[in-house]
Chain A
Amino acid sequence: MNAQQTGSPQITKETKNKIRVEFERTPLKERLKAKFINMAFVGGVIWYIVRFVLLLGISYIVLYPFFTQIAGSFMGRNDFVDVTVMLIPKDFSLDMYKFILLENQYFSAFGNTLLLSGSTALIQTFICCLIAYGLAKFKFKGSGLVFMAVIFTMVVPHQTIQYSMFMNFRYFDIFGIIKFLSGNATVGEIGFLNDILANINIFGAEPTSKFLKAVVEDGAFNLNNSYWPLIILSLTGLGFKNGLYVFMLRQFFMGVPNELEESAYIDGSGVGRTFLQIILPLSVPMMITVFLFAFSWQWTDDFYTTLFFTTNKTVLMPDVVDIPRSLETQYAGQNLYYSAIRNTCGLLIILPLVIMYLFCQNFLVQGIERSGLTAD
């Protein structure tokens, strides 16, 4: 900018006047012609229209399924056998919403999933920030290896380890520590664990006495049917797509100038404080992006929830997708009708996400743009 201002040739008063005189001498028609009838302008207009139409079309492709789903969710039974009905319902009814909300335990699923997604997303965002910052700004022995490990966790499909994951949390026992501690103890003998284990109930594990009995029987914790497996996975940066978050955040932190931290160090702040007070406030848009991803991917997740929650005790979002008993019918339009009901369940599930997205989408683009992702 500066160089341009100083380096540009000086425009003298005479040349300015000359230009003005020339401008005033040419008639308006000529001027308009020069401005609008040339290749650059016409090309620009055509490109503008083509681009706009293209984007409109693709937006339509993205949104069309939602239109049909929303339209279908307001239709009554008769509309599904009526050939003339396309998008606007003739037999308007709110039955689907009513019975899904009442009979599919939507509200308890909402509460449980909110607790689960909220806690895991918060933990994942923070932990991934920690890991990414450590990988981006510190060159310690084996940092390359750790990064490779992060990428490795991203590359291994979770189906590959789904059974061992299930077994691992069914008999949760790191390196046999718990088996060693409990030994052949009875419930009474390891009662000292009671106080600690009482807290586990917050996240929906078995009642303590039953839980302890299971511990003694198996020589390990049974963490399934609780939030613990997912929370432990999040705490260690192994949750769903956490490799991607670490990768994104690492790229972002690499773009943060070192001078910022250096000046913080000179002012006497330690590494931890620099991270918490300088780096984290800087990366709020990026963190919101990661939180948005983590939250919504956990919200609609049906892999971990069906893997770890084998009983129906904790109702989560996948349990909502069902045909309410009052709507079960047998008629010609049954398949379409059930499909519409499932779609309505889907709409109700994503409704909170859509609301959240409307508020956060600005941060999403901002965070990504500022990340200055580079591949090296």
Chain B
Amino acid sequence: MTNEMKLNTTVSEQKLKAPKKRRGSASLDKRKARSGYFFVLPFLVGFIAIYLPMIWDSIVYSFSHVTIVAGEGSVTEFVGWENYNEALFVNPDFIKTLVTGIKELAFDIPAIILFSLFMAVLLNQKMAGRAAFRAILFVPVIISTGLMESIASQNIMDDMGEEGIADGTEVSTASEIVSAIDIENLFAGMKVGTELVEYVVTMINNIYDIVNRSGVQMLIFLAGLQSISPAIYESCSIDGATGWETFWKITFPMISPMILVNAVYTIIDSFTTDQNTVMRFIDGIYTTTNGKEISSAMSWMYFLIVILIVAAVAGIASAFVFYQKKD
């Protein structure tokens, strides 16, 4: 009896205590949500204390002249739109470079995405030596960046032994893998425009560049391919679909979100890389007198243009992207 009584009292006490506690503090979800702030705290602090002031400074610099005075720090003098004016109307090359840069971008994005998707599909299939091929194809991701890119851009070793290269001033057409004439002959029978032929020729001749820059995209596509359930492929093959049909009806729609991600990533990556025409131009301006402010103004204009391009691409692509419904 006594035991039972004790048990009853303890239970009732617990019952009484529990709701009181809950009323006192926030619910579990809320408490958990609050600890989310703890995780992003380093970023928040850095973003507010370092990054936003830097962005603000950069915008201010683009509107002013800066002189460094020892003892007083830097003196900024507001000059209005002068730097932008200088960049757009005084500098003869900026707009020209901008147009070429955007043209390059229009060429690069489809080329890199097509190539990386193709390679990812290949590397996803089971075959002998897959691990080795993967390892080799991801080498550029790790190695061909920054410093190595700038070394490679000065490299004339690849053309060694060919005529007209010894002085390193001109690039002979013999070093191109395929000549335009061959491709034109190939396409002569088909009725395709010269632009397409030219595009294919440039793509093949830039293959090294494209391979080098599509490493991360390949990884993202591979991850996407891995996440497609094998059951779908199995049911497809039971229904008698060929590999070609399976690719267009299953793989392509399932991978389409990745195409969007990669398109955005490629745009961002190729316009922030040091090898980009516009970026190199802006870098060159940076070292001239008053160049720091003008280069700020230029890069902000460039940034705005690219943001617009990213938004447009993302907007158009997202209309065609297929999302698998999750239940």
Contact = CB atoms under 8 A, between A and B. Distances in A.
Interface residues of A, number: 106
Interface stretch (B11-19, B35-43, B91-99): B35-43
Contacts of A235: 42, 46
Interface in A260-278: 271-272, 275
Interface of A: 48, 51-52, 54-55, 58-59, 61-65, 68-69, 72, 80-81, 83, 85-86, 127, 130-131, 133-135, 137-141, 143, 146, 149-150, 153-165, 167-168, 171, 174-175, 217-220, 232-233, 235-238, 244, 246, 271-272, 275, 292-293, 296-297, 300-303, 317-318, 321, 332-333, 335-336, 339-340, 342-343, 345-346, 349-350, 353-354, 357, 361-362, 364-365, 368-369, 371-376
A48 B47 contact: no
> Chain A: interface secondary structure?
helix
A357 B158 CA distance: 25
Contacts of A143: 36, 40
The 4 closest A-B pairs by CB, nearest first: A236-B46, A134-B39, A138-B36, A375-B257
B151 interface: yes
A80 B199 CA distance: 35
> Chain B: interface secondary structure?
helix
A65 B152 contact: yes
B70 A368 contact: no
A365 B219 CA distance: 8
B279 interface: yes
Given A237-B46, A374-B257, A375-B257, A61 B211 contact: yes
Interface string B303-315: 1000100100000
Contacts of A246: 43
B145 A296 contact: yes
Contacts of A303: 146, 274
B286 interface: yes
Among B73, B122, B293, the most chain A Cβ lie within 10 Å of the Cβ of B73
Given A156-B303, A161-B58, 15 more contacts: A59-B133, A63-B136, A68-B157, A72-B157, A86-B161, A127-B42, A138-B35, A149-B47, A153-B47, A156-B55, A159-B299, A160-B296, A236-B43, A373-B224, A373-B261
Contact of A168 (B38, B50, B129, B140): B50
Given A220-B73, A235-B42, A336 B142 contact: no
Nearest to A364: B138
A127 B268 CA distance: 23
Interface string B283-327: 100100000110110011011000100100000000001010000
Contacts of A271: 32, 35, 38
23 contacts: A51-B122, A68-B158, A72-B157, A83-B161, A154-B268, A164-B55, A164-B57, A174-B50, A217-B70, A217-B71, A220-B73, A235-B42, A235-B46, A237-B46, A244-B216, A271-B35, A303-B146, A332-B166, A339-B154, A339-B157, A353-B142, A373-B223, A375-B323
